[in-house]
Amino acid sequence: MLSELQALDPSAAAARETPVASARRRLLVVMPAYNEERRVRQVVERVRGAVPVDVLVVDDGSADATAAEARLGGARVAVHPVNLGYGSALQTGYRYALRHGYDAVLQMDADGQHDPASIPALVAGLDHADVVVGSRFLSGESYRPPLARRVGMWVFGTLARLVAGIRITDPTSGFQAISRSALTFYAHERYPPDYPDADVLAMVARSGLRLTEVPVRMLASPDGKSMHGGVLKPMYYVFRMTLALLLVPLRKETI
Amino acid sequence: MTGTQQVFAIAAAVVTLMVIMELVRRRRLREEYSWLWILTTLAMLLLASWYGLIEWLSRLIGAVTPTTTLFLFALMFLLMLNVHFSTVISRLTQQVRRLTQELAIREAERQGEGVERPRPEDPGRPAPR
């Protein structure tokens, strides 16, 4: 079926010489963006410069010119009229990819913290897995998160190992490659609207999809903002993650 | 429970029931969301008017006065209503997400056809949260 799709699509054939296409896949880069007008264009251009792929920027209800900037960079843009959340924006990309016959999605953030040079490694991981998570902790670089975050990562990592038997060093990584069967799994109500995390990976593992991690390079986010800042947000995060992980074994997910 | 209490409780239940029915009649409240409200008011009516039932219930749950039983049951029904609304909101949220995504995908497809959607300054655009 894969070869059929490629035969029908001339752009995939044209891109066959590139490292990404050597994996014989038609790939869509999905980039959720929220108020990223200052960086999104450059990030899209760098991705398209590194790999000849289609880029879909999902503008999650930005108040600024994110969509226009992304178009200038050469991306196709899907605009949410209202802000739905990071997870919902990703899911829009998955649904678009499924509908347009892409074989895989590579998702990365629009703020430039994900190095496009790591894309081929992630896509190559799809040869033996359905979800390939890019981990900044496997690359041997000396990134050391704050203590509270390390504790949280350890607790939820242990919990995910207990409920799903997975070992993931960087479950919050937004730099991932996803196969078509995993896209189908994700294009469902089960996919969280806010931040997909270890709970989603635990669901993936329990549903029989294959999960793997590869080292990637991540750059420091230019303005250092975190998605989980503040006081109440981390508390809600801890609550939601605990609940979601504990519910994983109680839910029956079918692909 | 004194006679005054009973009369007031019955009156309150009847008025609530009438308000609910009027809202449904004017289609301000949809039938599918009215049934739990109607059930609540009917239960209150039953408990307020049938003294034997409320006495029996009070003994059953160990309440000292029948009014406690009435309040307790009213409270429980309100709780159920709220849970019911939470599930409705969850469903609505899911539907809004699906619609928004569909709209975004359609727009991206139009861009692919070379049809640029005019994007004037839109004063009606809601402020992001």
Of B93, B105, B129, the CB nearest to A99: B105
Calpha distance A3→A9 (Å, rounded): 10
Q: Which residues of B touch A67 (CB under 8 A)?
A: 119
Provide the residue type at B68 as one letter. T
Q: Which residues of B touch A83 (CB under 8 A)?
A: 128-129
Signed CA dihedral, A152, A187, A105, A253: sign only: positive
Confidence of residue B55 (pLDDT cuts 50, 70, 90): confident
Tell whether B64 is within 8 A of chain A (Cβ): no
Percent of chain A with pLDDT over 70: 85
Section B101-107 average pLDDT: 94
Tell me the pLDDT tens digit for each residue of A21-48. 444 579 999 999 999 999 999 999 999 9
Q: Is the pLDDT of residue A15 over 90?
A: no
Q: How far is B100 from chain A (nearest CA, A)?
A: 6
Distances (CA, A) of B81 to B36, B37, B40, B77, B123: 7, 7, 9, 6, 37
Q: Which two tokens stand for residue B88?
A: 């409705």
Output DSSP code: residue A218: B
Calpha distance B98→A84 (Å, rounded): 10
pLDDT, position A141: 66
Of A35, A84, A99, the CB nearest to B100: A84
Mutation for testing the B interface, residue in A82, A94, A105, A183 having most B CBs under 10 Å = A82
Section B28-54 average pLDDT: 86
User: What does DSSP say about strands A104-107 and A27-33: parallel, antiparallel, or unpaired?
Assistant: parallel
Q: How far is B117 from chain A (nearest CA, A)?
A: 11
Q: Do A82 and B126 touch (CB under 8 A)?
A: yes
Tell me the pLDDT tens digit for each residue of A114-168. 999 999 999 999 999 999 999 988 877 666 778 888 888 888 888 888 888 888 8
Confidence of residue B37 (pLDDT cuts 50, 70, 90): confident
Q: Which two tokens stand for residue B51?
A: 């003294």
Angle CA(B88)–CA(B92)–CA(B95) in degrees, nearest 5? 140
Section B56-67 average pLDDT: 87
Q: Which of A135-139, A200-204, A210-214, B102-106 has the weakest average pLDDT? A: A135-139
Q: How far is A169 from chain B (nearest CA, A)?
A: 30
- Taking residue A237's Cβ as centre, other Cβ atoms within 10 Å add up to 19
Distances (CA, A) of A80 to A5, A96, A178, B98, B110: 29, 13, 22, 11, 14
Confidence of residue B65 (pLDDT cuts 50, 70, 90): confident
The b/e string for A68-83 (b: 16+ C-beta within 10 A; e otherwise) is: bbbbebebbbbbbebb
Q: Which residues of A touch B112 (CB under 8 A)?
A: 76
Confidence of residue A222 (pLDDT cuts 50, 70, 90): low
ipTM value: 0.79
Tell whether B125 is within 8 A of chain A (Cβ): yes
Cβ neighbours of residue B59 under 8 Å, at least 6 residues apart? none
Calpha distance B77→B84 (Å, rounded): 10
